[in-house]
Structure 1
Amino acid sequence: MTQASNINALMRSLIWPIYIPAILTASAQTAILVLLPLYVLELGHSPAIAALVLGLRGLGQLMGDIPAGIAAGKLGDKACLMLGMAGYTLGYGLVAVSSDPILLGLGAMIAGCGMSFALIGRQAYVSARSASQERGRVMAMMAGAMRVGAFIGPLAGGLLASSAGYPVAFSVLVVVCLIALAVVAVCAEKGEPEPSHESHSISAIGAVLVEYRQEFLSAGVAMMALQFMRAARVALIPLAGSAMGLEVDTIGFVVAAGAAVDSLMFIPAGIIMDRWGRKAAAGPSLVLFATGIALLGWADSHAALLASAVLIGFANGLSSGLVMVLGADFAPEKGRSRFLGVWKLVADSGHAGAPMAISGLLGVASLLACSQVVAVCGMAGFWVMAKHMRETLVKHP
């Protein structure tokens, strides 16, 4: 069987257990990212509180990374996937019935934890079934599926919230996640847990950080910067739109437009990673992302906001699947799930830190200042990647 036939067969086998649930949960996840801060603002709270509530989702994601890696190792990748879908459902269910910022933040945190389980479960599932020279395209396709959901979610969520109200929109997201849970339960193959002698103790996790410190201090730091920008744009675009006085459905359209461009890039991103290397995708993505975030701070009209969102979407699309691919590349055969949990924890530190940083900055500075700080962090990540990260693509004849 040719290499093309192999990868096509592999991708077909992943449609129902991985790609379809990824579309469903990504649509719910990106809808909540747009709607939740706007809902908090509608309830009469400040932009800083809105960013803080959204930031608790990132904190939940951070808290879930190590337990998710342990769950994938001890229970298998399918069980980890199902726990992730259940976390999404429970978290969004709490958001749907709450109007108190504390409970909204708790729901966001639970959903963030569910996201960790879902992503690590997918990464472990795909890593176990793909080779290095296939992994860029397979992971990019998974990221592309998530980007299709990212296009649908804000658009549908914005229309639902403006026509039927926020609680109804949140309730629809719960149903979407329940469908994803059912699809995984029926279609995913049961993966083998790692051998019981594999240690998942705190000392073992510390040993991973020590053994792979070069990878974490180079690629890990660069991916922290990328995740920092990804999380920051989620808060900055809706807040910038709200500051201009744009309606929720218009803001949803702006986010969806950026997501549409983003979703067109996953195939080129996968080809770039598998043909020219991971760094060939990472470099342009980080630079263009930082540029788009910097321009976002200067946007003073609907058109300028839209242009910034589209540039950011293009840059993000260039890095489709990059964090997952690098994690799978660096992960050893023995203790893969444990490594992936630590890898995701390091990368998600940037994701969790962005909303908190923005919330703090908004208390003392402007939206413009916030965007420039984020852009500088992105360029710092590019420098670390270019100077210190080794190329992980392994080509076989």
Structure 2
Amino acid sequence: MPVTDGPDSVRAREVLWGFGPMVYAPTVLFALGEGAVLPLIPVIASRLGADVPTAALVASALVVGQLCGNLPAGWAVARFGERVTMAVAGVIALGGVAVLALAPSLGLVALAVLVVGICAAAFGLARHSFMTTRVPQAFRARALSLLGGSFRFGMFVGPFAAAALLALFGTDASAIWFFAVCLVATVILVVFGPDPEARFTPRPDPARASAWQPDVADDSGEPVSGSIPVVERAGVFRTMWRHRSVLGRLGLAAASLSAVRSARQVVLPLWGVWIGLDAQTIALVVGISGAIDFALFYASGQVMDRFGRLWAALPAMVLMSAGFLALAFTSGSDQQSMWFAMFAAVLGVGNGLSSGILLTLGADAAPKDDPAPFLGSWRTLTDAGGAAAPLAVSAIASMSSLAIATGAMGLVGLLGAAAFLRWVPRTRR
């Protein structure tokens, strides 16, 4: 059902541009440095004597750090605020990057990657919580889609920046120090830039405000007896229990979307290797799929704001599920390369249409007075789905074949689409 209370376009542009130096620019800087270092982590681990499984384990420490960091980050944002959490996370991540550049042992490298993952979780949750409380409901999806697009831009450009630095200096340490420079710029921007918490005050919930209005009385000068009501901060675990119904339904649907997204990043390169393509062709196909994905990030926010969240979530899940299932059935065909390129593009379209959905649904479901603890649980669920998918693909492929593993991811996507159809409200709320 279309949403009727459309936003004023001038107001939307004003607020979105206002978030640029406060939220979007730090996001691009952080993601740019992370994207430059991420492909080099297995290389660094291998240089220190790790075999292929161990190098993969060290690289996975980033995801483990994000999983472990979401719940503490929810507590930190609720306790200290978004700006302080982002600044402290940037400083700690800077220390982790320095250890990564100078580490003489594999254990220190893994520890540094883990710390960077924890800081990335804190940084991401602080931005998510800030946007949840400050962005007007009428164009929340566009603002969060831009946030997701800023991250994707950094992760897309980062590897190219690393390649240029490697060609110029001939050492992978140059990309690591590039990440450090990005973190320094991020911290400076967060600490000395315009204060977003002062410029954009939290937006009150009209329903909650009207519910409290009858209880407001004029000051009569009489002494007050009884207790004075205060705003209760529930804490991370109490919030998780209080909202277990939403997390167990809509949260699991969101986790399935995160799993399908993560599976795309694993399946496409593996499929190219499986059908015998060279590395250059695989990189070209995956790059085109990523470019399509990036080009559509703002369209997702437009659709969600104008027509409702389901109109972006459901087509995205159906497209990615169909892409996986169709790709699985092309195994052994005479034109495998053509089908691979075609369905990689389909997966890119589906993933692009899903930009900002997880952020927006989490913001919609979060309590308005104290969203950070809820968002910590929400992001833990979605990150867990993203972390489980590559493990599932590896396990199924080792027991059967990559085609069956790919088809299984398509089925996961269909189940997620059914869950979205059942649990996502037909309007923005």
Counterpart of 2:188 in structure 1 is: 182
Indicate which of 379, 385, 390 corresponds to 2:414. 379
**In the alignment, does 2:244 pair up with 1:213?**
yes
Q: CA RMSD in A?
A: 3.4
Distance 1:307 1:96 in 2: 40
**In the alignment, does 2:385 pair up with 1:354?**
no
Deviates more, 1:271-280 or 1:21-30: 21-30
Distance 2:347 2:166 in 1: 25
Equivalent position amino acid for 1:186 in 2 = F
Q: TM-score, normalised by structure 2?
A: 0.78
**In the alignment, does 2:264 pair up with 1:259?**
no
Listed one character per residue, the Cα deviations across residues 126-147 of structure 1 (whole Å, up to 9, x for unaligned) are 1222122110111111112222
Distance 2:321 2:61 in 1: 24
Shift of 1:362: 6.2
Counterpart of 2:89 in structure 1 is: 84
Counterpart of 1:335 in structure 2 is: 370
Equivalent position amino acid for 2:59 in 1 = L
Counterpart of 2:20 in structure 1 is: 15
* Secondary structure, aligned partner of 2:72: helix
Q: Is the 8 A contact 1:84 1:118 kept in 2?
A: yes
1:359-370 equivalent positions in 2, closer than 5 A: 360=395, 366-370=401-405
Distance 1:106 1:305 in 2: 37
Indicate which of 127, 138, 143 corresponds to 1:133. 138
Q: Is the 8 A contact 1:218 1:389 kept in 2?
A: no
Q: Is the 8 A contact 2:308 2:426 kept in 1?
A: yes
1:221-370 equivalent positions in 2, closer than 5 A: 221-237=252-268, 246=278, 255-293=286-324, 307-358=342-393, 360=395, 366-370=401-405
Distance 2:321 2:192 in 1: 41
* Secondary structure, aligned partner of 1:191: helix
Distance 1:256 1:82 in 2: 33
Deviates more, 1:344-353 or 1:361-370: 361-370
Shift of 1:330: 1.0
Deviates more, 1:382-391 or 1:40-49: 40-49
Q: TM-score, normalised by structure 1?
A: 0.84
Equivalent position amino acid for 1:170 in 2 = I
Shift of 1:117: 0.9
Listed one character per residue, the Cα deviations across residues 290-314 of structure 1 (whole Å, up to 9, x for unaligned) are 3445567778988766555443332
CA 1:168–1:139: 2 relative to 1, 3 Å? same
Deviates more, 1:222-231 or 1:43-52: 43-52
Larger Rg: 2
Counterpart of 2:218 in structure 1 is: none
1:46-125 equivalent positions in 2, closer than 5 A: 47-98=52-103, 101-125=106-130
Q: Is the 8 A contact 1:269 1:318 kept in 2?
A: yes
Deviates more, 1:285-294 or 1:266-275: 285-294
CA 1:353–1:180: 2 relative to 1, 3 Å? same
Q: Is the 8 A contact 2:74 2:375 kept in 1?
A: yes
Distance 1:162 1:309 in 2: 29
Distance 1:236 1:181 in 2: 36
CA 1:316–1:210: 2 relative to 1, 3 Å? same
Distance 2:78 2:34 in 1: 25
Distance 1:318 1:259 in 2: 12
Equivalent position amino acid for 1:317 in 2 = G
Distance 1:174 1:359 in 2: 33
Distance 2:84 2:32 in 1: 22
CA 1:223–1:389: 2 relative to 1, 3 Å? same
Q: Is the 8 A contact 1:223 1:347 kept in 2?
A: yes
**In the alignment, does 2:201 pair up with 1:170?**
no
CA 1:103–1:354: 2 relative to 1, 3 Å? farther
Shift of 1:189: 1.4
Listed one character per residue, the Cα deviations across residues 73-102 of structure 1 (whole Å, up to 9, x for unaligned) are 111111122233334433443333347554
CA 1:159–1:252: 2 relative to 1, 3 Å? farther
Shift of 1:237: 4.4
Q: Is the 8 A contact 1:151 1:257 kept in 2?
A: no
Deviates more, 1:102-111 or 1:338-347: 102-111
Shift of 1:347: 1.7
* Secondary structure, aligned partner of 1:157: helix
Distance 2:104 2:347 in 1: 31
Alignment length, in residue pairs?
Answer: 389
Counterpart of 1:153 in structure 2 is: 158
Structure 2: runs of 5+ lacking an equivalent: 1-6, 203-228
* Secondary structure, aligned partner of 2:197: coil
Distance 1:34 1:363 in 2: 24
Listed one character per residue, the Cα deviations across residues 182-239 of structure 1 (whole Å, up to 9, x for unaligned) are 22222251638999964454xxx34333332332122211110111223333444455
Q: Percent identity?
A: 27
Distance 1:172 1:133 in 2: 38
Q: Is the 8 A contact 1:216 1:343 kept in 2?
A: yes
